[in-house]
Structure 1
Amino acid sequence: MLQAEFDQFALEYQQQHAASIRLSGEMPDFFAQYKIDDVAARLARSGVKPRRILDFGAGVGNSLGPMRAAFPDSEITLLDPSSQSLDIASKRFPGQADFRPFDGETIPYEDGSFDLAFAACVFHHIPEDLHVGLIKEIGRVLAGGGSFFLFEHNPWNPLTTHAVRNCAFDENAVLINGRDMRARMEAAGFSSPAIVYRIFFPRLLARLRPLERYLTGLPVGAQYFVHALKPAV
């Protein structure tokens, strides 16, 4: 999570992202929107309305628009090691969040500061030996009973691996399968992490997407998320 590496791509992130996923037939906004829709739907089923939200590794703020629409009354913090990315995000969405730089190790908030933590395709950029420690750090700033949603690319999906291979800012990425990520969240102290696989059909087959709700247990979707709760004190 070197600042220089992310600053290098900040200005070109949107264009490079769009180019890398062109085979899906979708634009980056589609992927940002479905993630927040999934989070909001899962929390709504539990009757949860988070007051304080942490977007970990928020980059140029692609998730902030959908997140602000889904949680209009929440306090939202975008955290990222790239100051240039955060500067872009703050100009895209002035006054809509707290844009906070991060040293890659310690989240600059007190214990229990957030009710919801969210990470969208961040951990494949982070060395494996740092994963458990960073997930513990996210857990530290979550309140008891708070949720963590961690989205990642699925290395078992051929379109996903093709997109990553052809994306300049993913040059050093190491994809993580869902089972390994779930195990790391458990090792970091989160209880009963659940894996949900997503995005089985490209836009060409979008009429089949209503079937996806029956496929979420199959490890072949383009992406997945792991949802876990911090044990209540």
Structure 2
Amino acid sequence: MRHGKQTPEPHEHGGDEGGVLVRGARRYEWSAAVGMLGRRRQVYDGLVALSGVRPGDRVLDIGCGTGYLTRRVARAVGPGGTVVGIDPSPSVIGYAATRAPANCTFQVAGAQALPHADAAFDAVVSSLAIHHLPADDRVTALREMRRVLRPGGRLLVADFSARPRHLRLVNLFGGMTRHARQHHPMADLADLVGRAGFAPTGSGDRWPSLHYVQARRPLEDVSAGAEASRP
């Protein structure tokens, strides 16, 4: 991927047509750093800890964007583990791939139809991506996450539960912070996870106004693939 003055293609973080567009991997990185007020690493390492990933795990990051969380997960699983980040934007995937550690790969794909086999992963993580999906596709995407998890596998999804007050100030910078303005609250995150067939194991709030849900694919669940294929 060339990094010049060319206009990058739209980035649709976590969705297909109809989702919210974020233009430019570098702009996305800048706005994410500003939006976290210099605490991006602490915030994402906290999410990694909440996900329960362990050395040697196989992990999928949904709506990975430029791959920041994916790379933090890769550190946690170590050289014996693997992490795959997926996003529908070739631009951000190209950007992420240039920064990928040896145990980390990136693929262009949407959350609604994951290009992975049933039970392929020990854990699935997703941060600030679900709200970008069209509302009618959110349960479908979560069922796909359940399908690619092994029975007993772990899910962590996080999104904004309220509009962080500091992002209102960030908006004063104008077009460079378009991504910050697209973070809409996801009050029904736990309900979506339950409707997708997961067994919730925990939830809570983290700075800055993040709400997370932890869940597992039930051990007795053998039908996730069939359900995910239903219209």
User: TM-score per shorter chain, which class?
Assistant: 0.7 to 0.9
**Which whole-Å deviations, capped at 9, do the CAs of 1:107-149 have from their partners, x for residues lacking one?**
0011111110000111121122211110001101111000000
1:218 is matched with none
Partner of 2:107: 100
Relative to structure 1, is the Cα distance of residues 37 and 52 closer, same or farther in structure 2, using a 3 angstrom cutoff? same
Give the counterpart of 1:189 among 171, 179, 197: 197
Identity value in percent: 21
Letter in 1 for 2:31: Q
Within 5 Å, which residues of 2 pair with 1:116-155?
116-155=123-162
Q: 1:61 to 1:38 in 2, by over 3 A?
A: same
More helix by share: 1
Q: CA deviation at 1:28?
A: 2.5
**Cα gap change, 1:145 to 1:81, in 2 (>3 Å):** same
1:34, distance to aligned residue in structure 2 (A):
2.0
Asked if the contact 1:154–1:160 (Cα under 8 Å) also holds between the matched residues in 2, the reply is no
Q: List alignment gaps of at least 5 residues for structure 2.
A: 1-14, 221-231
Partner of 2:185: 175
Cross-structure match for 2:63: 57
Relative to structure 1, the CA distance from residue 163 to residue 9 in structure 2 (aligned partners, 3 Å threshold; closer, same or farther) is farther
Q: TM-score, normalised by structure 1?
A: 0.76
Count of aligned pairs between the two proteins: 200
Structure 1 residues 117 and 89: alpha-carbon distance in aligned structure 2, compared to 1, 3 A threshold: same
1:136–1:188: 8 Å Cα contact kept in structure 2? yes
2:27 corresponding residue in structure 1 = 12
Q: Is 1:30 aligned with 2:17?
A: no
User: Structure 1 residue 159 and structure 2 residue 146: aligned?
Assistant: no
1:164, 1:175 → 2: CA distance? 17
Over residues 39-58 of structure 1, what are the superposed CA-to-partner deviations in whole Å (9 max), with x where a residue is unaligned? 24xx5xxxx65621101111
Cα displacement (A) at 1:63: 1.4
Which secondary structure does the structure 2 equivalent of 1:189 belong to? coil
Task: Tell me the secondary structure at the aligned position of residue 12 of structure 1.
Answer: helix
Contact 1:50–1:115 (Cα < 8 Å) also in 2: no
Shift of the 11–226 alpha-carbon distance from structure 1 to 2, 3 Å rule, reads same
Equivalent residues in 2 for 1:191-210, closer than 5 Å: 191-199=199-207
Once residues 194 and 20 of structure 2 are traced to their aligned partners in structure 1, the CA distance between those partners, rounded to angstroms, is 29
Shift of the 181–117 alpha-carbon distance from structure 1 to 2, 3 Å rule, reads same
Q: Any unmatched runs of 5+ in structure 1? A: 200-220
Cα distance in 2 for partners of 1:110, 1:160 equals: 41
* Cα deviation code 1:90-113 (max 9, x no counterpart): 111253312111044210011111
Q: Secondary structure at the match of 2:103?
A: coil
